[in-house]
């Protein structure tokens, strides 16, 4: 089955009412490749206005994180049912900034992913190694450990898109080479084949994230196992449209 190209924009904790509106206007006025699924993840406070102002139905909205608890006394959290009530059907989970700065473990991320997907919210599930782990040859081991924790919780993989984001490439301008990225993507696909099923391996989109720009996206998008991107910094700029259109 052909996998639909997917481009996510992670605004992180950036933006203002007016700058976010400008990004949405830019997407509304752009000609986007109709064969690309696009999802943008503004900070939680802007989710609803962004969803309401988006005219292009091809572009969906994602949260950057969500709780694995039902509604209740969890100050500062947002629930899966609140996302759905707001027409938000996607969330990012396990971003390396959540894992490292907010100490989310593989198990926490897996539990949140289970709760979201079981309750109808699709997940851009992130994984990736640090520079130290890469330099000591542990890249695949780290990713396999992250995937194994996920596998323990998940039976339905159809609501999961995997984003491979080497931590050393995030926000640094140091993009992984197409060969480095393709190598890890192919190993993730191989892992899915061996540990889950041929079908999940064939159908799951694997995105690359880490200093993706309008300059490097075309080359990366040609690789067999790169099914799209999770874009940080460049998703705040007009060049995000060029990244969405990288296959054209």
Whole-angstrom Cα distance, residue 110 to residue 139? 19
Binding flag, residue 128, ligand G3H (CB under 6 A) = no
Size of interface with ligand G3H, in residues (CB under 6 A): 14
Query: Is 53 a residue of the active site?
Result: no
Nearest to 37 by CA among 239, 202, 230: 230
End-to-end alpha carbon distance in the chain: 20
Choosing from 7, 78, 230, 241, the residue that interacts with ligand G3H (CB under 6 A) is 230
Using an 8 Å Cβ cutoff, are 13 and 41 in contact? no
Q: Indicate the residue among 201 and 235 with the shorter CB distance to ligand G3H.
A: 235
DSSP 212: -
Least distance in angstroms from the C-beta of 200 to ligand G3H: 23
Query: Is 77 a residue of the active site?
Result: no
Q: Which stretch binds ligand G3H (CB under 6 A): 24-32, 66-74, 191-199, 210-218?
A: 210-218
Q: Tell me which of 60, 89, 165, 185 is the catalytic residue.
A: 165
If DSSP codes are grouped into helix, strand and coil, which group holds residue 175? Answer: coil
Q: Tell me which of 37, 60, 89, 95 is the catalytic residue.
A: 95
Q: Indicate the residue among 46 and 200 with the shorter CB distance to ligand G3H.
A: 46
Least distance in angstroms from the C-beta of 133 to ligand G3H: 17
Binding flag, residue 210, ligand G3H (CB under 6 A) = yes
Q: Which stretch binds ligand G3H (CB under 6 A): 66-74, 110-118, 141-149, 232-240?
A: 232-240
Cα–Cα distances in angstroms (integers) from residue 47 to residues 63, 89, 123, in the given order: 7, 11, 16
Q: Indicate the residue among 70 and 238 with the shorter CB distance to ligand G3H.
A: 238
**Strand spans (E) along the chain:** 5-10, 36-41, 59-63, 90-93, 122-127, 160-164, 206-208, 228-231
Whole-angstrom Cα distance, residue 20 to residue 30? 16
Binding flag, residue 100, ligand G3H (CB under 6 A) = no
The CB density around residue 43, as the number of other CB atoms within 10 Å, is 15
Contacts of 226 (CB under 8 A, 6+ apart): 178, 181, 182, 185, 206, 207, 208, 220
Binding flag, residue 10, ligand G3H (CB under 6 A) = yes
Binding flag, residue 246, ligand G3H (CB under 6 A) = no
Please report, as ranges, the residues that interact with ligand G3H according to CB under 6 A.
Answer: 10, 95, 165, 170-171, 209-212, 230-234
Residues with catalytic annotation? 95, 165
């Amino acid at each position: 089955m052909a996998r639909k190209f997917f481009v996510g924009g992670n605004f992180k904790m950036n933006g203002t009412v007016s700058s976010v509106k400008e990004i949405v206007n830019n997407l509304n006025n752009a000609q986007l490749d109709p064969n690309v699924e696009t999802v943008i993840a503004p900070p939680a406070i802007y989710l609803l206005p962004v969803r309401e102002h988006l005219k292009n139905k091809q572009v969906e909205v994602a949260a950057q994180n969500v709780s694995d608890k039902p509604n209740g006394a969890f100050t500062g959290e947002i629930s899966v049912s609140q996302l759905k009530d707001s027409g938000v059907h996607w969330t990012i989970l396990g971003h390396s900034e959540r894992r490292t700065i907010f100490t989310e473990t593989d198990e926490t991320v897996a539990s949140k992913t289970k709760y979201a997907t079981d309750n109808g919210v699709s997940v851009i599930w992130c994984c990736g190694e640090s520079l130290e782990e890469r330099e000591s040859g542990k890249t695949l081991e780290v990713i396999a450990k992250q995937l194994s924790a996920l596998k323990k919780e998940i039976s339905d993989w159809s609501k999961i898109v995997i984003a491979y984001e080497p931590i050393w490439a995030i926000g640094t301008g140091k993009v992984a080479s197409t060969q480095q990225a393709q190598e890890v993507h192919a190993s993730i696909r191989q892992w899915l084949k061996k540990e889950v099923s041929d079908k999940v391996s064939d159908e799951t989109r694997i995105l690359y994230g880490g200093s993706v720009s309008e300059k490097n996206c075309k080359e990366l998008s040609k690789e067999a196992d790169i099914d799209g991107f999770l874009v940080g910094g460049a998703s705040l700029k007009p060049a995000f449209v060029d990244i969405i259109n990288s296959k054209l």
